[in-house]
Amino acid sequence: MKKLLVTGGAGFIGSNYVNHVLREREDYFIVNLDKLTYAGNLENLRESEKNERYRFVKGDVCNAELVDYLFQTYEFDYVVHFAAESHVDRSILGAQVFFQSNVIGTNVLLEAARRRGVERFLQVGTDEVYGSLGETGVFTEETPITPNSPYSTSKAAADMAALAYHRTYDLPVVVTRCSNNYGPLQFPEKLIPLMIINALNDKELPVYGDGMNVRDWIYVIDHNEAVDLVLEKGRVGEVYNVGASTEKPNIEIVKLILEKLGKPESLIKYVKDRPGHDRRYAIDSSKLQSELGWKPKHSFEEAMERTVKWYVENKTWWERIVSGDYRNYYEEQYGSR
């Protein structure tokens, strides 16, 4: 049995990871350490909460005493570090918590892993550390790190810290850098769930700038399968890009959602652009594909269909979110846009 510390396992990608791994593998025991920020939701883990191979710990990755206690108690083989403040727009409203959780928190985990010893430490990174592309080109693992938002800067610092712990202390670190995820359980501050929910509520769909910024989309389960593979088979000290080569301008995604829900395009409202808005992301994952044999299994068409259906069928999940503090966030972010 491999003992695995998952951080941020109550968030979107982390909870999909925990549920998926407990479903698919019998050789993992998971401790999920999550602070339950606005983005953490134990409802996401209903199917796993009674599993004997699962424990939940509410806590902050910045809490060195707690983190060290967990390493000492469980003697983890693996760490998969998802926990982070993850939303670019929120990092523009207030960056401090991003540097606290994403940089200091990562350092606390790296220190505990160094002192107590682990077989693998996987730092879950983002393609946003590579900055923005023009009309052509793709991000490879060799693309210079030039982040533009407070969020991506904090994630770049976390990646660099993890790689430095490998070089300096020989900690067996691997880093993944993934493109934009979508799927069930994504907090409705992000493009796809926000647009689905607004459309279902016949509310305006706020498209930033000219709607022609491009993102490269991947279904969350494909990302998580890559994480699992890199964790077990990735070469230590290496970075692996993860992406499904599905570039789409935002406006195309928004129109597709409206079409799937039978709602009119008149709901679209072009609003003031995001400051420092990266124009285009496109990720080359050929290293992961050729070295480890990973391939995305879900087509964009099928996985978008599934995602939209999930939000239509899980109204109580998102209604609880959008009727709470989210309303204040929405007003601050979009009220005068």
Given the rule CB under 6 A, which residues bind ligand NAD? 7-8, 10-14, 34-37, 39-40, 60-62, 82-86, 101, 105, 124, 126, 155, 178, 180-181, 187
Backbone angles phi, psi at 121, to 5 degrees: -125, 110
Under 8 Å between Cβ of 180 and 216:
yes
Q: Is 16 near ligand DAU (CB under 6 A)?
A: no
Beta-bridge partner residues of 271: 208
Smallest distance from the beta carbon of 158 to ligand DAU, in angstroms?
Answer: 11
Beta strands 247-249 and 173-178 are unpaired
Q: Which residue in the list 34, 60, 111, 127 is annotated as catalytic? A: 127
35 binds, among ligand NAD, ligand DAU, none (CB under 5 to 8 A by kind): ligand NAD
Mention every residue, 6+ apart, whose C-beta is less than 8 A from residue 69. none
Q: What string marks each residue from 191 to 230 as x (binds ligand DAU by CB under 6 A) or -?
A: x--x-----------xxx----x-x---------------
Distance CA 10, CA 218 (A): 20
270 is catalytic: no
Query: Closer CB to ligand DAU, residue 57 or residue 261?
Result: 261
Q: Which residue in the list 111, 128, 228, 284 is annotated as catalytic? A: 128
Q: Is 128 near ligand DAU (CB under 6 A)?
A: yes
- Picking from 193, 171, 144, 175, the residue whose alpha carbon sits closest to that of residue 41 is 193
Question: Given CA atoms 28, 82, 71, 67 in this order, what sign does their dihedral have?
Answer: negative
Smallest distance from the beta carbon of 116 to ligand DAU, in angstroms?
Answer: 28
3-state SS of the chain: helix, strand, coil percent to 5? 45, 20, 35
Residues contributing to the site for ligand DAU (CB under 6 A): 86-88, 126-128, 179-180, 190-191, 194, 206-208, 213, 215, 250, 274, 281
- Known catalytic residues are 127-128, 151
